[in-house]
């Protein structure tokens, strides 16, 4: 019988739960083979198996000893992970084009201290009593290939879910559902982060494993970062339109709107092709009248706020200003435009802020 495994090493944050410990059929002749050194070496080579032993005096619960053997096997796996992961998890996580690879690697990789729940699958235990020696012996084992397969499945499942969530975010971005899209991007990144402990464990169990999800995870992280940058860009507004007083072009409403938007921390651009939204203004004189001494007029203004990406008119406002007087038709119209502006701004300001933020 091998010496009891006594060295205790704690790997912070790694807890191992067990699935199917009792139900999994053991290898051939477990009750005999693991007791013999020669058979143990042939049936349970350390390159393919994790195993551990426990023993006690006759009368000790065999179930308790099997649990003890299982615990020692867990400890052995933890020590193996601790000794390997610091080296193995330094494997190259860089994307092929090298862009932002260091940041992506740091995001995807983490130290072995990261908290994880790593299910140990298809493990089994066995025990027997030796009446002559008045001892009870227990044995626990798990095949490394089963662990590798399980960890690979967890990685593949998580990255698949990350991909689906990213696609939903892209659809929401196209529909200009910025907030929802950003939430989905955060969910997608969480799915990728959940892969880290499984990949660390996979590499610790089998450093030569061909599946780690590295390239796929790096690509997803790059796509997430690119879409997030796009979504977090500030709204850029192009203000345009026509203003006329007695068929003469004027420039009263549009410059004031540009100033007020800028003072409200909205980026205003002079180039329509740079804009995410277009604010179109149509201003004209209406209800023009005159008497022997004065001319009177009101301003009739229509404002339309359009989303460039969707082509949707997200806001339409009309203002019929109060009547203003002047010494001539143009003077009355100019006064009408200026007096109508505060009403126009009060109607569109909060609604535009609500749309773009």
The predicted model gives 135-141 an average pLDDT of 91
Within 10 angstroms of residue 276's Cβ, the number of other Cβ atoms is 17
- φ, ψ of residue 51 to 5 degrees: the values are -155, 165
List, in sequence order, the alpha helices (H) in the chain: 30-33, 37-43, 62-88, 101-108, 144-174, 178-193, 195-205, 214-232, 253-263, 329-356
| Residue 54 CA neighbour count, 13 Å, CB half | 23
Within 10 angstroms of residue 57's Cβ, the number of other Cβ atoms is 9
Query: 76 vs 207, which has greater pLDDT?
Result: 76
The predicted model gives 142-154 an average pLDDT of 86
The predicted model gives 95-105 an average pLDDT of 40
Per-residue pLDDT, 243: 96
- Measured in whole angstroms, the distance separating CA 42 from the mean position of its chain's CA atoms is 46
Per-residue pLDDT, 352: 87
Per-residue pLDDT, 129: 86
pLDDT above 60 (res 18): no
Lowest mean pLDDT among 97-111, 175-189, 221-235: 97-111
Per-residue pLDDT, 211: 59
pLDDT above 50 (res 173): yes
pLDDT above 80 (res 119): no
Alpha-carbon distance of 121 to 138, in angstroms, equals 19
Query: 34 vs 316, which has greater pLDDT?
Result: 316
pLDDT above 50 (res 23): no
Alpha-carbon distance of 278 to 274, in angstroms, equals 10
Q: What is the CATH number of domain 148-232?
A: 1.20.58
Per-residue pLDDT, 212: 60
pLDDT tens-digit profile of 287-346?
A: 999 887 899 999 999 999 999 888 899 999 999 999 999 999 999 999 999 999 999 999
Query: 149 vs 336, which has greater pLDDT?
Result: 336
Q: What is the CATH number of domain 236-356?
A: 3.30.160.150
pLDDT tens-digit profile of 45-74?
A: 888 888 999 999 988 899 999 999 988 988
Q: What are the DSSP calls for 221-274, one per residue?
A: HHHHHHHHHHHHSPPEEEEEEEEEETTEE--SHHHHHHHHHHHTT-EE-S-GGG
User: Hey, where are the domains in the chain?
Assistant: 14-90+118-143, 148-232, 236-356
């Amino acid at each position: 019988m091998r010496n009891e495994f006594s060295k205790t090493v704690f790997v912070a944050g790694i807890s191992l739960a067990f699935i199917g410990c009792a139900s999994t059929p053991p290898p051939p002749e477990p009750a005999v083979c693991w007791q013999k050194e020669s058979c143990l070496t042939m049936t349970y080579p350390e390159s393919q198996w994790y195993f551990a032993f426990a023993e006690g005096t006759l009368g000790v619960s065999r179930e308790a000893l099997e649990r003890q053997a299982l615990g020692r096997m867990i400890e052995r796996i933890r020590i193996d992970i601790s000794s390997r992961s610091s080296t193995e998890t330094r494997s190259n996580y860089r994307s092929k084009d090298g862009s932002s690879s260091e940041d992506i690697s740091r995001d995807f990789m983490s130290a072995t201290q990261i908290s994880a729940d790593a299910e140990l699958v298809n493990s089994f235990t066995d025990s027997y009593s030796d009446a002559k020696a008045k001892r009870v012996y227990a044995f626990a084992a798990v095949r490394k290939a089963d662990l590798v397969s399980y960890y690979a499945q967890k990685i593949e499942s998580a990255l698949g879910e990350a991909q689906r969530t990213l696609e939903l975010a892209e659809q929401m971005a196209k529909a200009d559902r910025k907030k929802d899209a950003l939430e989905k991007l955060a969910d997608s990144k969480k799915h990728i982060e959940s892969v880290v402990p499984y990949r660390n464990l996979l590499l610790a169990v089998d450093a030569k494993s061909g599946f780690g999800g590295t390239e796929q995870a790096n690509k997803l992280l790059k796509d997430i970062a690119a879409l997030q940058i796009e979504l977090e860009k500030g709204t850029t507004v192009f203000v345009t339109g026509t203003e006329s007083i007695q068929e003469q072009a004027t420039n009263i409403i549009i410059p004031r709107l540009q100033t007020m938007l800028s003072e409200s921390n909205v980026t205003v651009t002079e180039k329509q092709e740079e804009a995410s939204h277009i604010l179109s203004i149509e201003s004209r004189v209406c209800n023009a009248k005159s008497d022997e001494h004065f001319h009177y007029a009101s301003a009739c203004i229509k404002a339309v706020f359009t989303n460039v990406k969707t082509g949707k008119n997200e806001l339409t406002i009309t203002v019929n200003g109060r009547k203003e007087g002047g010494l001539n038709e143009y003077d009355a119209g100019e006064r009408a435009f200026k007096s109508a502006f505060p009403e126009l701004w009060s109607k569109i300001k909060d609604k535009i802020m609500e749309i773009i933020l």
